[in-house]
């Protein structure tokens, strides 16, 4: 597909996000549901569609380390080196700041943050200027859709915009690695 079509899809997704609505989009791991991470009402609407229980937060995609620090109240000194050394999508569980919608904060006060590696996600987040919620595009308890064809019709009907990018892609990617800030202030791997 053309560069202009790619830009048009980025623009369309950002327009919907700025209107505090929900998108269905390809992430750097699976197909996901997304909204502006700073809009509590949009996060609530997304969780209602997903049927996700409270206290089970979603990941927030960010554009870079600077944006990540906006959503984390505490950033370990070795985070930049860890990000530069990562070889696959990695989610960092860090103490949440007030900038993130309350529904995205875990009961332990952390938020999952991942720098978007996928070109589409990165451009959307950069243009939006805020974090982008990233949760799998399935009803809670149902299988995670690795490819667009696996997204249920109920989810497709329930969103405000379906991104028309990589819908024919059948590449399957492993879930992100998960790292958390340990008690001693160092990063610890939770899921490899």
Q: Where are the domains of the chain?
A: 3-191
Query: Which tens digit of pLDDT belongs to each residue from 150-173?
Result: 999 999 999 999 999 999 999 888
Distance from C-alpha of 115 to C-alpha of 121, rounded to nearest angstrom: 9
pTM over 0.75: yes
Distance from C-alpha of 145 to C-alpha of 30, rounded to nearest angstrom: 6
Number of H helices, E strands in the chain: 6, 9
pLDDT of residue 19: 98
Torsion of CA 165, 127, 61, 111, to 10 degrees: -150
Enter the CATH code of domain 3-191.
3.90.870.10
pLDDT of residue 54: 72
Pairing of strands 110-115, 59-62: parallel
Q: Kindly tell me if the per-residue pLDDT of 55 is higher than 80.
A: no
Distance from C-alpha of 103 to C-alpha of 122, rounded to nearest angstrom: 23
Mean pLDDT (the chain, rounded):
93
Least confident of 52-56, 69-73, 126-130, 161-165: 52-56
Q: Kindly tell me if the per-residue pLDDT of 1 is higher than 70.
A: no
Q: Kindly tell me if the per-residue pLDDT of 102 is higher than 70.
A: yes
């Amino acid at each position: 597909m053309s560069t202009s079509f790619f830009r048009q899809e980025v623009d369309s997704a950002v327009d919907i996000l700025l209107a505090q609505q929900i998108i269905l989009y390809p992430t750097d791991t699976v197909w996901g549901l997304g909204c502006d991470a700073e809009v509590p009402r949009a996060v609530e609407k997304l969780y209602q569609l997903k049927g996700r229980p409270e206290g089970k937060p979603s990941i927030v995609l960010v554009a870079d380390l600077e944006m990540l620090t906006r959503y984390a109240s505490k950033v370990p000194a070795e985070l930049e080196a860890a990000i530069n050394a990562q070889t696959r999508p990695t989610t960092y569980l860090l103490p949440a700041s007030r900038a993130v919608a309350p529904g995205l904060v875990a009961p332990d006060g952390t938020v999952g943050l991942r720098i978007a590696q996928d070109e589409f996600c990165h451009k959307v987040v950069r243009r939006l200027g805020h974090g982008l919620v990233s949760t799998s595009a399935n009803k809670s308890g149902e299988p995670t859709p690795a490819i667009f064809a696996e997204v249920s019709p109920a989810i497709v009907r329930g969103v405000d915009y379906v991104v028309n990018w990589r819908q024919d892609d059948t590449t399957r990617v492993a879930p992100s690695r998960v790292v958390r800030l340990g008690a001693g202030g160092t990063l610890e791997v939770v899921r490899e």
